Amino acid sequence: MIIEDQFNVQAKKQDVWTFLMDTEQLARCLPGCEEVDEVEDGVYQAVAKVQIAFMKLKFNLNVRITDLDPPNQLQSEIVGKPFSLVGQLKVQAKLDLVEVEEGSTDVQYFMDLSLAGKLGSIGQSAFRSKATEMGAEFAANIREALEENTVKR
For all residues of the chain together, what is the average pLDDT?
92
Nearby residues of 37 by Cβ (< 8 Å), 6 or more positions away: 44, 45, 46
Please tell me whether the overall predicted TM-score, pTM, comes out greater than 0.85 for this model.
yes
Q: Predicted confidence band at 120 (pLDDT cuts at 50, 70, 90)?
A: confident
How far, in Å, CA of 102 to CA of 97, rounded? 13
| Choice between 58 and 124, residue whose per-residue pLDDT is larger | 58
